[in-house]
Structure 1
Amino acid sequence: MNEIIKRPEIKSVDFCVDENIWGHRLYDEQLPHLTVLEFLGVLGSNLDKPLRPHEGMGGTVKFRPQRQIRLRGLLFNNPYVESIAESARPDEEKWRQWFDKFAQGATRNGDGDMAYLRHSFSTFDDFAKAIELLRSSSFESRSNKRWSSKFVFPFGPDALYEDLEIDSRGKMSNDRRFFARTGELLYLMLSRSEKGAQLGDSLAKGLFDRDAPMNRLARALQGDPQFADDPRPAGYLPEMKNVRFDQICEDWLSILAKDMPIYDALEHCIAISGLNMLLYFLERAKRIAGDDEPVEIVCEIVSKERTKVRTLSGDSYQFNQGLAAKAVRAHVESIRQAPRWGQAASVEFPEAERVKLMREWFQWPPTDDGDDEDYSGKSPDALVAGLVELALARHEQHVGKIHSAWSRAIGLSSRRLSRRIRYAPTDRLLKSIVVAIVDDRMQFDEFLAEAKRRYGLVIGDAEGSRLVEAKLVDQEELSENRDNLEARLVGLGLVRRLSDSCSFVENPFAFKGEAAC
């Protein structure tokens, strides 16, 4: 059984149920690319011991994130730079006008004096082109998010910073909306994996090169780094070991070993991290709910004709969508099976003893405002039922949306050609899966078996044998679904057919230093 780490008190919540199951915290609005950005920020703060466990801290780590107010202001709170650059004014006049406009919107958090930019760029037009280049490679640059919650691509250490809310008076706070600690959990997962240190060294070498061209450009705009005032502890992750942690690490190492630029590899790491963390969410939910069967994701490879596989894929999606709520209910109700719950019947004040136990498990009921007497008079069933209702209501707001939000974000789910959401992986996700699984080339059926072993993906008749035996689908329909995937991968240049019965999935990047066969 996996070792469970004692949870610290979490003061930002009224009770801990989701946190006990998955950690503090997984969050639906922090999509996989934001998760990886937050993860890299934690890593950048621990380059002296990257992805190594920190001893004497209960399995957690500390980090001091960068804020880079100047860089993000120049990229995302600077709408007039283009019009000034395109004007026919002399260079000196362009600088003067831009300095005046930028000063009007400055937050006074180190962005009041921007004179250093004149020494970093030969001309104003060069400065404007640098902004255009970095902005064009950023995440969600065209979204309507606040400017302080937009992010440049992580080209290096100077391009990393945390999410912030900055009010009209320049007061800054990390309100945990888009950097909600999910990236901190990813860091903890990888630091607790068997090959975490190996991955940490690889990432430190590949992504934290201060002299990389694009990082130098970010540094020219930012100037000296800006940090949060004090180090802070990372979030809480319940398990010390989990096979999913090892799988995420193995996938990252596999992707980074391929013959492609580190920034291209990072895009695949983002997709694979999203898939693996979604599986962590579902696997943990099943285990807590008392279901030890592996997570199953029945995927339709989209075709024009409606098939039974499409229906099964929708059913699979809906089943997995309901797992988390089942886990919440089961976790709260499991306190009745705790030895101390039963032993409380023999003490003088059994209800008070059970209230004490519930506070230890869930930080609930509250102890302030004189509520003790109100709760201690309730029956055990009323206490449990009350917390189940509260926990499910809070769960539905964000954590309960993780499955739908993340599966859509990584390209795993779709409504295309159907009124129901079902699992229908995109070409982009399929390519990331091939890059992660296939070192050089792999027989197609072996690839399908490995995709099911790693990620629970059911595509062909061999992987869906349980469904065939249960008479939920004909073997021929799953075989056709398999053929549809093969055709898709052929079109993507990822499968080579040697004969009608022999096809190989080929990784176009193979291993560095090796040629693909």
Structure 2
Amino acid sequence: MRERIDNVDFTVDEHIWGHRLYDEQLPHFAVLEFLGVLGSNKDAPLIELPGDKVRYKPQRQIRLRSLLFNNPYVQTVRDRTISDSDKWEQWRDLFVAEATGHGDENIDYLREVFLSFDDFAKAIELLRSSAFEARSNKRWSSKFIFPFGPDALYEDLRIDSSSATNDRRFFARTGELLYLMLCRSVNGRLLGQLLVERLFVSSSPLNRLARALQGDTQHAPEPRAVGYLPHRTHSRFDRLCDDWLAILSRDMPMYDALEHLISNAGLNLLLYFLDCSKAEVGDTDPVEIVCEIVSRERSKVRALSAECYQANQSLSLRAVRASIESFLLTPEWENALSSIDQSTQCILALRDRFQWPSAESDEDNDYSQMTGEEMAAVLTEKALARHEQHFGKIHASWSRAIGLSSRRLSRRYRYAPNDRLLKTLVVSMVDERMQFDDFLHEAKRRYGLVIGDTEGGHLIREDQIDQEALSDNRENLESRLMSLGLVRRLSDSCSFVENPFARGKN
């Protein structure tokens, strides 16, 4: 029997990809959740001991997030022509009246930390301006500031007058799986130490500011175990780890490096999702992403890229169906079908493999009256319907979030990487300089990105596109990188991609 997963009606998606990847947890949320797990395990970072589940006790920092995002009174009081003492008193009365009662009602310590109310208001404004999706309509307890240090990290919460509970909408465990992936990579321990050294610097000015607002750290009541990752090893885990090590080796501030870590994590998580989908349907060809480099003129690559996008979009649904169908071909299922008590044996076989049907759910359905084929049909219908709610949206949501896909100048989505993602590719792949043709080759080898005619040679041979279109696409990328200051052309036939953040370059 496979590992049992609690609070799940049936486990089809989970045994393909893990519990859980989630479409609404975009890459920046995944990295923030990952950092929460890392911070709780910073004495033994990215280490998963055999037979022992990784556990962590996330920070809540309710005072900090309440001051930043549930505090509309600061600017109003600040603008009043009254004494500093009166500003503190008036603001305190307004804030405490709306406090959640979860440790944010006692904020008298703030007057001892800040010299004036104006300094306090400026600190609020500064940290608030660093927030991810600052202008979104998300509830205030689901807004996050940039992770300037250990005191600026906290989990997603649903807060009301009676309780503060961890929510699984924006911190849905994808960050926990990201942690496990890096634990299971070859160089995970090296990366863990480096991340702790670079990211958990309590003395950094903005972390000290966050700590001044928060006061004493607030933690979740009890430690919790991380999610379930079905693969002990995977080439994508190693690729992700090595990419992060490369990014951290660049000559750039940690705050800038973190943006590249987020983009790179999103790309590798997306490729992991597609890799597992292809493996489940029995497709041994590597994932392929045909990219259009957008230019002024309409490209013939656009249609091919849109077709590639749609093919990858449908992969995960095919994987769910294939997972169930492959089980229906096993000796266990064949034995259940041929047994005297077919219904009972089929129920036991399905429970053993998929945790379904459970005794607690589907009370209106009497599965004991169904044949094995009927049960399998019901499970397939349920699994496909549930998959389309969240897992099935991952490819579309994440590819847009990292700047890999776009509908710009087109009615259909296709792969069209933006400047931010292209910069991340250069920072991740190029140690100092790399010949442009080698860069294209590496982009395909590492991430399946097809841009030029050499990488898309099989597409030309199969008459899916002509060589000229892919050659033009290649030239468009070269021009684009040149405009970003990332390519130096030495002659018509020799160009180099240069990483401006390479150690020793500046």
TM-score, normalized by length of structure 1? 0.96
What RMSD in Å do the two structures reach over aligned CA positions?
A: 1.4
1:226 matched to 2:218? The reply is yes
Q: 1:82-93 to 2 correspondence within 5 Å?
A: 82-93=75-86
Structure 2 residue runs without a partner (length 5+)? none
Q: Deviations over 1:320-348 (max 9, x none)?
A: 00000000111111111222112335543
- Aligned-partner Cα distance in 1 for 2:195–2:319: 35
Instruction: Report the equivalent of 1:14.
Output: 9
CA contact (8 A) 1:76 1:141 kept: no
- Aligned-partner Cα distance in 1 for 2:352–2:151: 42
Displacement after TM superposition at 1:8 (Å): 3.5
- Aligned-partner Cα distance in 2 for 1:22–1:509: 35
CA contact (8 A) 1:366 1:372 kept: no
Instruction: Report the equivalent of 1:101.
Output: 94
- Aligned-partner Cα distance in 1 for 2:420–2:168: 29
1:161 paired residue among 145, 154, 161: 154
Letter in structure 1 aligned against 2:468: E
Displacement after TM superposition at 1:515 (Å): 2.1
1:501 paired residue among 493, 498, 504: 493
- Aligned-partner Cα distance in 2 for 1:370–1:181: 26
Q: Mean Cα displacement is larger for which, 409-418 or 79-88?
A: 79-88
Runs of at least 4 residues off by over 4 Å:
369-373
Q: Deviations over 1:347-400 (max 9, x none)?
A: 432332221111011111122379699223322221111111101111111111
Instruction: Report the equivalent of 1:49.
Output: 44
1:123 paired residue among 110, 116, 129: 116
Instruction: Report the equivalent of 1:343.
Output: 335
CA contact (8 A) 2:488 2:498 kept: yes
1:387 matched to 2:382? The reply is no
TM-score, normalized by length of structure 2? 0.98
Q: 1:149-228 to 2 correspondence within 5 Å?
A: 149-167=142-160, 169-228=161-220
CA contact (8 A) 1:153 1:159 kept: yes
1:515 matched to 2:499? The reply is no
Q: 1:435 to 1:247 in 2, by over 3 A?
A: same
Displacement after TM superposition at 1:87 (Å): 2.0
- Aligned-partner Cα distance in 2 for 1:369–1:230: 29
Q: How many residues align?
A: 506
1:359 matched to 2:351? The reply is yes
Instruction: Report the equivalent of 1:132.
Output: 125
- Aligned-partner Cα distance in 2 for 1:484–1:263: 30
**What SS class does the counterpart of residue 505 from structure 1 fall into?**
strand
- Aligned-partner Cα distance in 2 for 1:376–1:457: 50
- Aligned-partner Cα distance in 2 for 1:71–1:94: 20
Q: 1:141 to 1:372 in 2, by over 3 A?
A: closer
**What SS class does the counterpart of residue 337 from structure 1 fall into?**
coil
2:322 paired residue among 327, 330, 334: 330
Instruction: Report the equivalent of 1:3.
Output: none
CA contact (8 A) 1:352 1:376 kept: yes
**What SS class does the counterpart of residue 58 from structure 2 fall into?**
coil
CA contact (8 A) 1:91 1:123 kept: yes
- Aligned-partner Cα distance in 1 for 2:214–2:2: 38
Displacement after TM superposition at 1:460 (Å): 0.2
CA contact (8 A) 1:412 1:423 kept: yes
Q: 1:369 to 1:128 in 2, by over 3 A?
A: closer
Letter in structure 2 aligned against 1:493: G
Q: 1:374 to 1:39 in 2, by over 3 A?
A: same
- Aligned-partner Cα distance in 2 for 1:200–1:240: 18
Instruction: Report the equivalent of 1:263.
Output: 255
2:21 paired residue among 26, 29, 33: 26
